[in-house]
Amino acid sequence: MRIAFVIYDRMTALDFIGVYDPLTRLRTMDLLPDVTWEICAYTPEVRDIAGLRFVPTRVGESLGDYDLVVVPGGFGTRELAEDAGFLAWLRTAAPCPRKVSVCSGARLLGRAGFLAGKRATTHPDAFEELRPDCGALVEDQRVVEDGDIVTARGVTAAIDLGLYLVERIVGHAIQERIRRQMDYPYGA
Amino acid sequence: MRIAFVIYDRMTALDFIGVYDPLTRLRTMDLLPDVTWEICAYTPEVRDIAGLRFVPTRVGESLGDYDLVVVPGGFGTRELAEDAGFLAWLRTAAPCPRKVSVCSGARLLGRAGFLAGKRATTHPDAFEELRPDCGALVEDQRVVEDGDIVTARGVTAAIDLGLYLVERIVGHAIQERIRRQMDYPYGA
């Protein structure tokens, strides 16, 4: 089980870390010891919208070999949605059986061509934009799964997405153990 | 308004980022433009429990000049609770009008001497430990404020703490704007 956490300039850190926490607990809590992950960027220098530096472990390498690719949202999506180089890099994730996004990260999946005809969600402020831009069928739910695509609503829905993915990967009982350790009484 | 976000080896990243997101929105959403922050560590190399690297902007400098000092929890607290150098550094935060923690970060505040006789909370698994170790009066609530100390329960309570602090700093209306942008329907 190999996970790629995509990071980029001017992302929202909580979109990333909210999914990263429950998924990486699969290993840190010894629940699925063979899970591994990389922090994947298209450019070597990454800071979130508030200036916090993040350090990728892979830069510009193909995303094609991962079981799960996680794309956060944030202000940086506005530029990246028009960045042909970044979108070509993101398209290398096409063979991955699960491509997931948080918040406006859905727009990047969409601009990479992954959302055509798919049910998907994003931040409520971006519902209208996602439809014409990407051919997605927008649904107002916390987490939406459609085939190889799983999308989450705004920022904090990252946590709900992470727990949802844990349950899909290892089942309800382990998801409940992780949820308890995260002290998260909310959501599904 | 100056904030110190304390980071350390083997912390839980979500404890930090869950508070960081709502507080830094005071500036990134242009709600309180004069808020500034530093990422403060005692050692230059910091990785969370799952190996993610974080880069401090201040190393080993006094915490005494901040209005708010934020201490996350995590496995690293077990060693740091016995680390005289780290605790002496944390004690430089004594003059700060607000010292706050998430999860087992409370134990570090306690070992620094800040919790004696104070009402406080921590991860439910650590309730019993916090009492004798630090003289705290443990309360089972999501967020507990007592004078200069505000503590949050487990990991995801970081978000509730961040929104609580936003409300205390700039009031309910702005807190609601931030909560909406974070798409966080839960909590108080």
| Cβ–Cβ gap A157/B183 under 8 Å | yes
Residue B74 lies in a domain: yes
A103 is catalytic: yes
Q: Does the reported pTM lie above 0.90?
A: yes
Which CATH number goes with the domain that contains A166?
3.40.50.880
Residue B188 lies in a domain: no
Residue A165 lies in a domain: yes
Question: Which pLDDT score is estimated for A188?
Answer: 61
Residue B161 lies in a domain: yes
Return the residue in B156, B161, B163 with the most chain A beta carbons within 10 A, the one to mutate for interface testing: B156
Residue B26 lies in a domain: yes
At A29-87, the pLDDT tens digits run 999 989 999 999 999 999 999 999 999 999 999 999 999 999 999 999 999 999 999 99
Residue B186 lies in a domain: no
At B87-139, the pLDDT tens digits run 999 999 999 999 999 999 999 999 999 999 999 999 999 998 888 878 899 99
Residue B187 lies in a domain: no
Residue A118 lies in a domain: yes
Q: Are strands A149-152 and A143-146 parallel, antiparallel or unpaired?
A: antiparallel
| Cβ–Cβ gap A21/B155 under 8 Å | yes
Q: Which residues make beta-bridge pairs with A145? A: A150
What length is written for chain A?
188
State the average pLDDT over residues B156-180: 97
Is residue A94 a contact partner of residue A64, using CB atoms and an 8 Å limit? yes
Identify which of A54, A124, A183 has the shortest CB distance to residue B123.
A183
Distance from the Cα of B179 to chain A's closest Cα (Å) equals 9
* Range of the structural domain that residue B105 is part of: 2-181
Closest chain B CA to residue A73? B182
Identify which of A28, A153, A156 has the shortest CB distance to residue B49.
A28
Q: How many domains does chain B have?
A: 1
Where does chain A have alpha helices with state H? 13-28, 77-80, 84-91, 105-111, 127-134, 157-170, 172-181
Question: Which pLDDT score is estimated for B162?
Answer: 98
**For residue A53, which of B2, B9, B56, B35 has the smallest C-alpha distance?**
B56
